[in-house]
Amino acid sequence: MRPTAGAALALVGAAVLHQLARITGAAWLALGSGALLALPLAALLLRPRLDGIQVVAAPLHLRRGSTGEQAVTVRNAGRRPSPPLRLTDGTPGLEPTVVAVPALAPGASVSAVLLRSAVARGWTPDAEAVLESSAPFGLVRVRRSLRVAGPFVVAPAPVGAPVVQAGGEGAGDTSSAVAGHGTEVLGLRPYRPGDSATAVHARASARQGRPVVLERERETGAAVVVLCAQRGSGPEWEALVERSCALAETAVREGRPPRLLASGLTAPVRPSAAAVLDWHAALDGAQPVDARTQAEAVRAAAHGGSVVLMGTAAGDLGAACAAAGARLVVLGPA
């Protein structure tokens, strides 16, 4: 809580009128002085309480440089009517926005859809919102900060994917189901030229009146492992994160989800397109790579895969990759 410029003017005016009343002896000046002095005191006594105000915002997933809509609801959960408010949202990665909130009766709420602009990459589980009011006379400003639950995600801007080749089938810890000769059944499909006659499922073919093949699953390792050695900053680092994200998105679209590894961050085992964006958005929370994470990257890319390195690794990562039959690719900005 702090006085406004209007309160300062009222106090100065009261002091001036009081001095004039003493000099001239005019009673009306004394009354005016008292009235001006009473206004800030009344504003102080009648200042609004904002502890019953709740703010709920929809989780947001954007890419840097894009815009999107976000629903925001303000509710008065207190027992008294709330005054008109000014709501300022400063979610990291988004342009700040200011919203005028009307007076609300107890239990009432108001909602709005805001157009948000993503200006910086980042991931945050919650954000700070600031409520302000100068009711009832505009002489005392009341301010309250509160946390708004998210998450709020700004992923890297889309760019062209770098070409990283990784041949063979890795023997890492990550696997994805593709057609082959395993034990798990993927399903039935029509017979195609080149299929083995032994793959034709007799009963299913009889039921459908055409040859169908029973497809089984085989396990393939991650062809590409993205390893973040340490977090960085500045335009070159952002360009590097964008290229890594584009590479991982391309791998997901091609049906070979990459392994994403960074010390201090949870690694999605089979990342979806959304998980790839979230992981890259949160890279500012990565720690310098430790030996365990580095060894995990080598294992996941063994026997024909590639370790795509962001930053500088500890030890001789190239030799470890070569011994495991993997390729080391140092990713740099375009």
List Cβ neighbours of 166 (8 Å cut-off, separation of 6 or more): 223, 224, 301, 304, 305, 306, 327
List Cβ neighbours of 332 (8 Å cut-off, separation of 6 or more): 240
pLDDT for res 166: 46
Q: CA triplet 180, 170, 222: central angle to 5 degrees?
A: 90
pLDDT for res 26: 65
pLDDT for res 119: 97
Pairing between strand 109-117 and 67-76?
antiparallel
What is the rounded distance in angstroms from the CA atom of residue 270 to the CA atom of residue 35? 71
Residue with tokens 């041949």: 167
Percent over 90 (pLDDT), the chain = 50
Angle, to 10 degrees, between the axis of helix 27-45 and the axis of helix 5-24? 150
- On whether the pTM is more than 0.85, the answer is no
pLDDT for res 28: 61
pLDDT in tens, 33-74: 655 555 555 544 455 677 889 999 999 999 999 999 999 999
pLDDT for res 88: 95
Q: CA triplet 162, 278, 262: central angle to 5 degrees?
A: 70
pLDDT for res 259: 92
245-257 burial string, b = 16+ CB within 10 Å, else e? bbbbbbbbeeebb
Which of 283, 286, 332, 290 is closest to 315 using CA atoms? 290
> Quick check: 141 and 3 in contact, CB under 8 A?
yes
The values of phi and psi at residue 190, to 5°, are: -65, 150
What is the rounded distance in angstroms from the CA atom of residue 116 to the CA atom of residue 114? 6
Two structure tokens written together for 146:
């509160």
Strand partners, 74: 55, 110
> For every one of its 334 residues, what pLDDT tens digit does the chain have, with 9 covering 90 and above?
555 545 455 555 556 555 666 677 666 656 656 555 555 555 444 556 778 899 999 999 999 999 999 999 999 998 888 889 999 998 999 999 999 999 999 999 999 999 999 999 999 999 999 999 875 545 567 889 999 999 999 999 999 888 665 443 333 333 333 334 444 445 677 766 656 666 777 887 778 778 877 765 444 445 799 999 988 889 999 999 999 999 999 999 988 889 999 999 987 777 899 999 999 999 999 999 999 999 999 999 998 899 999 988 877 899 999 999 999 999 877 6
> Quick check: 133 and 223 in contact, CB under 8 A?
no
95-121 burial string, b = 16+ CB within 10 Å, else e? eebebebeebeeeeeeeeebebebeeb
